[in-house]
Structure 1
């Protein structure tokens, strides 16, 4: 696809986390039209690429037109994006972001797509691989910004954008859960006490508006990763989906380890065990460099892989210019 959605172009504009907000559709009046919002993500588990969050919204009165089976049903087939083929996902998101409607469609379908365009808006945030790694690798461990916290904060910021910046009249927010749904819902209700929330597992299969968000997030993430592949790697090198089960991903990891950095930090999550193991546990096999970090010399209680205190094992007092155990306690 030569033309890219603005969601993808926004993520390509930086190696850090970026947010895209679509124009408010013509079927929504910001201050009066009751709207429902659905939130879902794509890319939580992969080694490569961003984790993309989407908050889709539409008029409350339009929400029953997606796949309820009544006479107003537009029958597009939105569902949990993982249940759909690549072609179907691209088709569905294309209805939303492409300006022109395919003239080869029959008149009824063209009218249905136009209705969809006029009633659905969305926000996406791509949490970059670089920022995911940075948050999860903070030191000391008490400062770690884990993936659930990053996900929760991203969701709340997208809701804030729709509620405060765009002044939408939000009546109900449906969210595919991250972590335990009850505590997550309570957290959201404390942040936005005037909004109604439903947080549940498999929300992307249950609530049509979450299915829309799921498709937007998945297509944006997949297209973004493909573009990063084109920009940073030779044509014959494939990142694959980024999941450790993908043969292309495993092949790339194995055959493209550099001694110091490992892989390109623009698209690699170094806080994942899979990438960390290549760099730390397989120094001889992959020719990576063993790095002794400063905090390993000043932190007591850290354990080596094969057991024992890491400071005593390093015996830093034998190394000139390095902080000794005795001098550490004199600071």
Structure 2
């Protein structure tokens, strides 16, 4: 029976924590059953429903997960873009799954060029396999919605673990969250360095370092 894989990411933009590439594979004959589970883009689900669906999905099909840590992102960004880092994660999940058809959320403007990039990095056998890459695929294709849920569930668990590690709820870890910025600033002032899970290549981290340096100079 031909298989289909959905792929999506979670945690592309935060200044704290890893990015997760989620994959979800089933037999294509089970697509209607998957839709009946009520999966949708993870951003449109409550935390409770997302976690319930994540548990159901793990029983229903085969999930795949690739974590790309903050350190790895910083190192790779010296030689490639964030889109290229994401593509590397997609490729690893595709190889792990060995699915007959791949559907994924498109992270750049041109779908044909994007698919060609993927195929150029994959083993030769993938040249004849079907790829679908579309903007908003996590909303249109239940298989990608399922992958979105797997990725988002992993990222939320990761952030909760960091909250426990540091004994502080810095919220999402995204730059727009004030508690996130305050946590980084306070940690830097107290420890002389940012937490190891910080993406130091982000402009937010750079601004916080400069801000703390300036306030330190003001003490003299």
- Same-fold call, TM cutoff 0.5: yes
Displacement of 1:261 after TM fit? 5.2
Give aligned pairs, total. Answer: 213
- Aligned residue for 2:51? 90
Gaps of 5+ in 2: none
Is 1:196 matched up with 2:130?
Answer: yes
Q: Deviations over 1:234-258 (max 9, x none)?
A: x3x2221111122321221232224
Q: Deviations over 1:178-233 (max 9, x none)?
A: 222332112123432021100010100011000000001001101111112212x1
Higher helix share: 2
Rg larger in structure? 1
Q: What CA distance in whole angstroms lies between the structure 2 residues aligned with 1:209 and 1:49? A: 26
Is 1:172 matched up with 2:101?
Answer: yes
Gaps of 5+ in 1: 1-32, 68-73, 98-116, 139-143, 164-169, 289-331
Counterpart of 1:182 (choices 112, 125, 149) is: 112
Decide whether aligned partners of structure 1 residues 83 and 287 sit closer, same or farther in structure 2, where only a CA change above 3 A counts.
Answer: farther
Matches within 5 A, 1:239-318: 239-258=170-189, 262-265=193-196, 267-280=197-210, 283-285=213-215
Displacement of 1:259 after TM fit? 7.7
Q: Secondary structure at the match of 1:53?
A: strand
Displacement of 1:282 after TM fit? 5.0
CA contact under 8 A between 2:188 and 2:212: conserved in structure 1?
A: no
Displacement of 1:146 after TM fit? 2.2
Query: After TM superposition, where is structure 1 displaced by more than 4 Å over at least 4 residues in a row?
Result: none
Structure with the larger RCO, 1 or 2 (CA within 8 Å, 6+ apart): 2
Root-mean-square deviation over aligned CA pairs: 2.0
- Aligned residue for 1:326? none
Decide whether aligned partners of structure 1 residues 254 and 282 sit closer, same or farther in structure 2, where only a CA change above 3 A counts.
Answer: closer
CA contact under 8 A between 1:175 and 1:198: conserved in structure 2?
A: yes
Q: What CA distance in whole angstroms lies between the structure 2 residues aligned with 1:173 and 1:219? A: 21
Matches within 5 A, 1:60-99: 60-67=28-35, 74=36, 76-97=37-58
Q: Deviations over 1:249-283 (max 9, x none)?
A: 12212322248853111x11000000111113552
